[in-house]
Amino acid sequence: MKLAGRNAIITGANRGFGFEIAKKFVAEGASVVICGRDADQVERAVEALQKLTHSKQTVLGLPLDVSVEENVKQMINTAIDKLERIDIVVNNAGVYGPKGLIEDVDSNEWTSAIHINLFSVFFMCKWILPHMKKNNAGKIINLSGGGATAPLPRISAYATSKAAVVRLTETLAEECREYAIDINAVAPGALNTRLLDEVLESGPNVVGKAFYEKALKQKANGGTPLELGAELCVYLASPATDGITGKLISAPWDPWRNLAQYRDDLRNSDIYTLRRIVEKDRGKNWET
């Protein structure tokens, strides 16, 4: 039971990958507070999670929109009131936002995606960190993804917001290092969730032929198992990774099960971070 006795808030956990994280957390002994915008889905998720709990675990579900700061404040206050202490936050809530060339997308939809993907993480961190600093302990896991590490033409709001989430993660990790609060970002891989269905429904004329064909292959192949990214979240939320912070870790590509033995290397390097590549990194010399 890697998370026995620990209490977690998981956003966007009423379905999909967030729900898979919640299941893994409960299976590992944690009490969880989950949220989502659909009240019926939140209720069904809570019922399913409660069937996995033991006597000392609590599951609480709150229907709300985490892109609204007041909602986040109320959720955190409710969670602390019910559970007394919050040890872990997983910022999973996210959307693709509008798809298409930037001159064609709706500006309100674009900025709304930024609010959901980036501002919700900012709000959660802003209002949970005083509680974690008081406890001199805490784990925050922010969901990033492929949008942070490579361009995503025609899905610009998603790519922009996810890159920003990673830099926010790195920055807050430095701000909180002296309080023993570990803040990391997770790239869960290419998941077959509702976001993939959105891409397929949009079609190649909107998302681009190459991205659409890639999505078709992913749908057929099954994508990265949801369990893999959820297991990485459990690992980062556990005491085994204390001191590992400010990193972007890929569930399908990085050897994350061995990270604890390389703690010092990670602390003193820029491995698993977003950095600029200069010509010398690629064997070029442009000064002459």
Catalytic residue among 96, 158, 235, 272: 158
Instruction: Count CA atoms within 13 Å of residue 183 on its CB side.
Output: 27
Look at residues 193, 195, 189 and name the one whose alpha carbon lies nearest to residue 256. Answer: 189
Question: How many residues belong to the chain?
Answer: 288
212 catalytic residue (yes or no)? no
In this structure, the number of other CB atoms found within 10 A of the CB of residue 252 comes to 15
Look at residues 90, 76, 88 and name the one whose alpha carbon lies nearest to residue 5. Answer: 88
Instruction: Count CA atoms within 13 Å of residue 126 on its CB side.
Output: 15
- CA-CA distances (angstroms) from residue 94 to 79, 108, 135? 21, 16, 28
CB within 8 Å of 105: residues ≥ 6 apart: 98, 99, 156, 157
Contact 139, 189 (CB under 8 A): no
Look at residues 65, 68, 72, 94 and name the one whose alpha carbon lies nearest to residue 157. Answer: 94
Tokens of 140: 């925050």
Measure the CA–CA gap between 243 and 258, rounded to whole angstroms.
Answer: 14
**Active-site residue set:** 158
